[in-house]
Structure 1
Amino acid sequence: MDFLYNTNAQFFIAAYLIGGIPFGLLLAKKYAGVNIKTAGSGSIGATNVLRVVKETNPSLAKKLGIATLVLDAIKGVLVLAVAYFAGLSEATMWGISVLAVIGHCFSPYLNFEGGKGVATGMGVMMFMLPLETIIALGVWAFGAKFIRISSLSSLTALVALMVASFIIHPDMAHAPVIIIGFILFYKHIPNIIRLLKGEEKRVV
């Protein structure tokens, strides 16, 4: 158990445990009285919070959706910010980023189930690769406005971010970006299947 006294290990554990906090599930239960794990897509993310709560309370749905999005993004950034001011290496911070996303997608509080990882991934990428993330957010905003299919907008933005990272930072180690991208694509497999079948729902 000596590894628990290692600073990097402590931050990695914190990133996973904090990343795993299911804010969408908690907020929807407390303020709307619904269990989003058993409704809609079953995801704990902002899109499902918005979709499920909107059925009974549209105005509350927007507030809870925004709160979920912000909290899911911040939980990865929080650990990164502390690590940054503690003077930890860039490699360690990338490890924190990956584990925060893994925590959200495979939460220890939900029997290792979780959300799609988009907001948490966006948060850590904004901290680590701000320019690429701004580009991705622009792509996402375009898709959200004109395509109005949440999963397609998110996946398109993810591809834009990954491509931009290779162009803007060709010499950096891209393994963490690829790992995060793989996790997000993996969690979106059901959405991809529905997209190919033309069955994916639009956000209205």
Structure 2
Amino acid sequence: MILIITILISFLCGSIPSGYIITKKMCGIDIRTVGSGNIGSTNVKRVAGSKASIITQIIDVAKGVTPVVVSIYLYDKLALQVDKDTFLSMIAISAILGHNYTPFLKFKGGKGVNTTLGAFFFIAPIPTAAGIAIHFLLKVITSIVSIRSIATGIMLPLMCYILQFPMAITNGALIACVLMIIRHKDNIVRLINNQEI
């Protein structure tokens, strides 16, 4: 029961639709009706500018960091019947799913890039840093954000595997990568058709 409650709390933390709230408060705009219709920081930047986008990014990262950090602290106190790596991976994925499929917006959320980086920052710091690094390195080659985001998602489990992280963490990172690719399916179609910007 305690495990279910902690997972649910993590999901709800990730579910806070920050991009929607910020653009609504700052610009009076429903972000879902403009640009790509996505509530993530990339669309927020297109619609509401850099300041709103940065605020959205910070909150989206925090939505991943917070439940994981709290869970790291509480793990020994909760006396759960599951190992720590599995537990933390479940918490991370729950936060990401909350962001991607927020119940506050009829289960239509963001693409999970910032929340994924936040969720795995303390679980797999080097793979997360590698994901961030590849995102910025690719900026030299392409201005298309979706390419950089997908590469970030792929780098996370790849580096976990190369660095021989515990299987539970590597599998969690792989699930996060798959979720990120699923959320970018429309972008992938546009990339194939040479229509992505």
The reply to whether TM is greater than 0.5 is yes
**Structure 1: which amino acid aligns with 2:143?**
R
**If the length of structure 1 is used for normalisation, what is the TM-score?**
0.89
Correspondence 1:178 to 2:174: yes
1:48 aligns with 2:43: yes
Question: Does the CA-based 8 Å contact 1:143-1:149 persist in structure 2?
Answer: no
What is the Cα-based RMSD across aligned positions, in Å?
Answer: 1.2
Regions of 4+ moved over 3 Å: none
Which 5+ residue runs of structure 1 have no aligned equivalent? 54-60
Identity rate of aligned residues, in percent?
A: 31
| CA positional deviation for 1:170 | 5.2
Q: 2:112 aligns with which of 100, 104, 117?
A: 117
For 2:187, the equivalent position in structure 1 comes to 191
Q: TM-score, normalised by structure 2?
A: 0.92
User: Alignment partner for residue 72 of structure 2, among 55, 63, 84?
Assistant: 84
Deviation at 1:126, TM superposition (A): 1.2
Which amino acid in structure 2 is aligned with residue 199 of structure 1? Answer: Q
What's the counterpart of residue 25 of structure 1? 20
Letter in 1 for 2:177: G
Which residue does 1:64 correspond to in 2?
A: 52
Q: CA deviation at 1:92?
A: 1.2
When the two structures are aligned, how many residues end up with a matched partner? 189
How far off is 1:98 after superposition?
A: 0.4
Per-residue Cα deviation, 1:7-31 (whole angstroms, up to 9, x for no partner):
x222101110110110000000001
Equivalent-residue separation in structure 2 for 1:169 and 1:32 (angstroms): 46
Amino acid aligned to 2:107: F
Per-residue deviation, residues 37-94 of structure 1 (Å, max 9, x unmatched): 01111111000000112xxxxxxx1111011011001112111111111135222111
* Equivalent AA in structure 2 for residue 79 of structure 1: P
